[in-house]
Amino acid sequence: MNKRVYLWHFRALEYCNRGMRRWFASRGIAWQDVLNDGVDAELLLASGDAMAIAAVEFAASTGWTREPIAGDAAAKRGGCV
CA dihedral (61, 7, 10, 3) in degrees, to 10, reads 40
- DSSP label of 69: P
pLDDT attached to residue 69: 83
* Digit-coded pLDDT (tens) for 26-42: 999 999 999 999 999 99
**pTM (predicted TM-score):** 0.85
Span 8-30, pLDDT tens digits: 999 999 999 999 999 999 999 99
CA 36/CA 58 separation, integer angstroms: 19
- Integer Rg of the chain from CA: 12
Give me the sign of the Cα torsion angle 71, 10, 4, 42.
negative
